[in-house]
Structure 1
Amino acid sequence: MRFTFLIYLLYISLFLSCKQPEYHLKKIEGKLIPISDTLSEIQKIDSFIAPFRAHINRDLDSVLAYSAGTYSRDDGQLNTPIGNLMADMIYEQANPVFKSRTGKDIDMVLLSYGGVRTIVSKGDITTRTAFELMPFENTIYVVAMNASQINTMIQYLCKAKKAHPFSKLKLTVDQDYQIINATIKNQPIDQNKIYYVATHDYLYNGGDNMTFFKPNDSLYKLNYKVRNALIDYLKKVDTISPSIDDRFTQLTL
């Protein structure tokens, strides 16, 4: 009996001695390692990726079209050459896709000032330029909007006082940015009409505080990236020479 008791004590002591100690996090330390030319290359890794780099660069450096000038999103106050061109390119490329699927036409396009991510320099426009102009994976949406939503959208554009790119919409405001005239495809806003507005997923989901897209009558996802639409358009033309026009103007005394 005494021997059995000793055995139990031995088991208990072995169990207690095998129990894992408890650890508690006291501190986390980190160090910033800048990526710069001071870091030496690892030849084995560089040799491995060299063929892929060459292939990507060959594709990105392929010439799509020619730019007659240098264009920036800061070239105008209410509309800019590059913004106008981008919105027009989306309409040109997306409308045939939308019409083939629905039998309807897109009424207008709305993008955002912040979505124009770089300048387009005079000279050759390459695929790389298109990626720099639109580096995000945004997809074109077409939103069915009633006249009330269109009016809210127009009020947003007037209040923003920015060169948000749009196409097929025409706005004239006074010196206080009050609306004098607003048309879509040169027609007054029809209060009984449903308008099909092309934009992209980021703006549809409220980006840049564009909350007027929801709720809506219907939503059409074209599965067509904005960047791809730009590239497809540029492949069709030889030269671009966009300009500021009268799609958004302010009358002053």
Structure 2
Amino acid sequence: MLIKRLFPLFIILCIFACKQEVHLNKIKGERLSISDSLVGDPDIEAFIKPFRDHVNNDLDSVIAYAPLTYSKTNGEYNTAIGNFMADAVLQESNPVFKQRTGKDIDMVILNYGGIRSIISKGDITARTAYEVMPFENSVVVVQLPGKQVQLMVDYLRESTKAQPISGMKLTLNSDSTVNEVLIGGEPLNLDKTYHVATNDYLYNGGDRMTFFHPNDSLYVLDYKIRNVLIDYFKKIDTLQPVRDDRFTKLNN
């Protein structure tokens, strides 16, 4: 009988206790130094090693050769490494785009800041592509009216960096006004639409490239710039990019 009498009181006390608020008064932390003195777990190391070796073998396999060292600082309006990257995007992406749409890419624009490393003289590996383009940026193709392309020209004219382009030839006068704009060898037509390849970061306004909006259509190729470079490297024996007249400024 005593148990039966105390049981309701027990239930009430439990409910009251559950309603009490709990407050955190103190957090105690401890700093753990990470250094070479830390000993790895041999079982984990043994498990990871085959995968690490496989990845390293893939990354370090020689796929091309660079006879010179190429840097994005070697040129004022266009650079060999920038020209190579833009040309690679055009060459490797156009077949994908044409298969899906039946159309061709007219031109490519990338960004100077997206070139994150030099290409050193010597063997080129897949790791080279990861160093030059460590980001996950992918190729997109934007259908732009000629008036939007003119805004792109204005951006290039005002830029202080050698932004990589392909399929376009831009010549400035000595006072930085536009002398000539050719796309596919033809003068820019403001009443025409053009298919411009770039990457998703720039399409979304990266590096202040706001001229991609508005547009007529967007095509997402699901093709990473890094993979573009690797595919391009695999098709050549020796990398031979050069500075040319695709973007120049007249002296007088």
Task: Say whether the fold is shared (TM-score over 0.5).
Answer: yes
Provide the rounded CA distance (Å) in 2 between the counterparts of 1:209 and 1:29: 45
- 1:115-145: CA deviation from partner (whole Å, max 9, x where unpaired): 1111111111001111111122222111100
SS, match of residue 219 in structure 2? strand
CA 1:16–1:65: 2 relative to 1, 3 Å: closer
Provide the rounded CA distance (Å) in 2 between the counterparts of 1:29 and 1:177: 62
CA 1:73–1:32: 2 relative to 1, 3 Å: farther
Deviating more after overlay: 196-205 vs 30-39:
30-39
Provide the rounded CA distance (Å) in 2 between the counterparts of 1:28 and 1:147: 61
CA 1:12–1:225: 2 relative to 1, 3 Å: closer
Deviating more after overlay: 177-186 vs 35-44:
35-44
1:153 aligned to 2:152? yes
Deviation, structure 1 residue 12 = 7.7
Provide the rounded CA distance (Å) in 2 between the counterparts of 1:187 and 1:68: 34
In angstroms, what is the RMSD of aligned CA positions?
A: 2.3
Partner in structure 1 of residue 79 of structure 2: 80
CA 1:101–1:14: 2 relative to 1, 3 Å: closer
1:241 aligned to 2:240? yes
Partner in structure 1 of residue 119 of structure 2: 120
Question: What TM-score, normalized to structure 1?
Answer: 0.89
- 1:204-245: CA deviation from partner (whole Å, max 9, x where unpaired): 111111111122111111122211111111111100121211
Deviating more after overlay: 18-27 vs 230-239:
18-27
Structure 1: which 5+ residue stretches go unaligned? none
The one-letter code sitting in structure 2 at the alignment partner of 1:71 is Y
Deviating more after overlay: 9-18 vs 225-234:
9-18
Partner in structure 2 of residue 102 of structure 1: 101
Deviation, structure 1 residue 14 = 2.6
Deviation, structure 1 residue 200 = 1.2
Question: How many residues end up aligned between the 2 structures?
Answer: 249
1:185 aligned to 2:204? no
CA 1:16–1:173: 2 relative to 1, 3 Å: same
Question: What TM-score, normalized to structure 2?
Answer: 0.90
Residue pair 2:78, 2:243 contacting (<8 A) in 1 also: yes
CA 1:43–1:24: 2 relative to 1, 3 Å: same
Deviation, structure 1 residue 37 = 2.5
Partner in structure 1 of residue 48 of structure 2: 49
Structure 2: which 5+ residue stretches go unaligned? none
Provide the rounded CA distance (Å) in 1 between the counterparts of 2:26 and 2:78: 53
1:172 aligned to 2:171? yes
Provide the rounded CA distance (Å) in 1 between the counterparts of 2:219 and 2:23: 53
Residue pair 2:147, 2:191 contacting (<8 A) in 1 also: no
- 1:33-68: CA deviation from partner (whole Å, max 9, x where unpaired): 564424332222111101110110111111110001
CA 1:48–1:12: 2 relative to 1, 3 Å: closer
CA 1:26–1:243: 2 relative to 1, 3 Å: farther
- 1:179-221: CA deviation from partner (whole Å, max 9, x where unpaired): 1221112211012111000111111111111111122111111
Deviation, structure 1 residue 26 = 4.4
The one-letter code sitting in structure 1 at the alignment partner of 2:48 is I
Deviating more after overlay: 165-174 vs 33-42:
33-42
Residue pair 2:137, 2:199 contacting (<8 A) in 1 also: yes
Identical residues among aligned pairs (%): 54
